[in-house]
Chain A
């Protein structure tokens, strides 16, 4: 067990801060703080732990393998209330940025004439009964899921009835898309650029355009139960 020695289960405090992140640009602040030596400047020893996706972050926070993490703001409520995860007291003293995600769609959809939410709605209605279009987000309770649904609705698409929205860890979304399993996705950068720069897809809209300045990741800190 990698963290057994420093885990609180043995009654001792860690002598460093175990800080989780996922490789998406909305976690850049924690990486920059480490690389710029700012934790050292403030007398801290911080170990960064890269995780594949948000479910892993959520479980590790809940089970005290992480002291803090760059995390979805929703986790403050899901972990505090124990929704789908062991309950743990927590808080945030700082949000780590606003927006930073986008919606990428397939070249097939472009060839079918999709240019925006309204034209996507038309194509989906044309294929009703013959094909279910599949879109990925990175966590159920996420701004990506929320923003994707807002955008789909703006095109007259019911995200619960007209399409299928599935959850895939951030780092695996693009690979899954490349495998031909997705018609589009809403995920943080750089996974939209992975498609648009390689010609494998196109970016329909950035989340900054769907809802400007919406809260994105927070610095999630475990607060413990009294």
Chain B
């Protein structure tokens, strides 16, 4: 028997989506972006200098010849862009058909869209989030984020205080380590001080 995660573990699946919907709203809020950058930059996730992530997530976006507004660089909010509608599914299927060999077209049937893009499941998760809000699902506020060895951006020193550790930090994260995350890391990404003189060389 194959494991049917989304079907046999439906309750868990809806709960997971509810967590994602909440997280998507957190990620989308401009005020949370500097903290999101600190989360992502940690060695077990991106393992890069925070400035690399802040460029697109906080902005303004340095293009190499000038700066641009980064407001719309990425949109996370599940209520804005997360609903797996038929229209979004069709966009993806059309893309897949365009990029695939033409002999695959009969396999890539439009009927599949409704099977894999499940607006109905999103709706259930939204209802679950709403019900949790009403029930005050958890009385404990989300634990504060702890910078975990990641370098702190100079212009923002308010996070340098020590905060209590998150329980989730004990959760093992499996990290296959490609070369770029170890010895071959370029100097800039090695948490060394950023030298503006070396940028904008063009």
A→B interface (CB under 8 Å): 2, 8, 11, 13-14, 17, 23, 25-26, 28-52, 56, 64, 67-68, 73-74, 76-78, 80-81, 83, 88-100, 102, 107, 110-111, 140-143, 145-146, 149, 169, 171-172, 174-175, 178, 189-190, 192-199, 201-203, 206, 208, 212-216, 218-219, 221-225
Shortest beta-carbon distance, A14 to chain B, in Å? 7
Known: A33-B20, A51-B176, A189-B74. 12 other contacts (CB 8 A): A8-B3, A35-B168, A39-B168, A41-B138, A44-B16, A94-B83, A95-B88, A102-B56, A169-B178, A194-B48, A202-B64, A203-B61
Chain B contacts of A175 at CB under 8 A?
Answer: 179-180, 184, 186
Contact (A110, B65) CB under 8 Å given A146-B95, A197-B55: yes
Q: Tell me which of B63, B80, B199 contacts A198 (CB under 8 A).
A: B199
B84/A94 in contact, CB under 8 A: yes
Name the interface size band of chain B.
35 or more
Contact (A214, B168) CB under 8 Å given A25-B57, A50-B174, A203-B63: no
A206 to B81 alpha-carbon distance, docked (Å): 18
A32/B15 in contact, CB under 8 A: no
Contact (A35, B116) CB under 8 Å given A50-B45, A91-B6, A212-B72: no
What is the predominant secondary structure among interface residues of chain B facing chain A? helix
B40/A25 in contact, CB under 8 A: yes
Contact (A224, B168) CB under 8 Å given A42-B19, A91-B115, A190-B48: no
A33 to B122 alpha-carbon distance, docked (Å): 17
* 0 or 1 for each of B52-82: is its CB under 8 Å from A? (1 = yes): 1101110001111100100011111010111
- Number of A-B pairs whose CB atoms are under 8 Å? 334
B84/A141 in contact, CB under 8 A: no
Shortest beta-carbon distance, B71 to chain A, in Å? 9
Shortest beta-carbon distance, A79 to chain B, in Å? 9
Q: Tell me which of B51, B63, B82 contacts A95 (CB under 8 A).
A: B82
A141/B2 in contact, CB under 8 A: no
Contact (A94, B17) CB under 8 Å given A175-B184, A197-B199: yes
Query: B39 an interface residue at 8 Å Cβ cutoff?
Result: yes
Q: Tell me which of B2, B13, B75, B189 contacts A225 (CB under 8 A).
A: B2
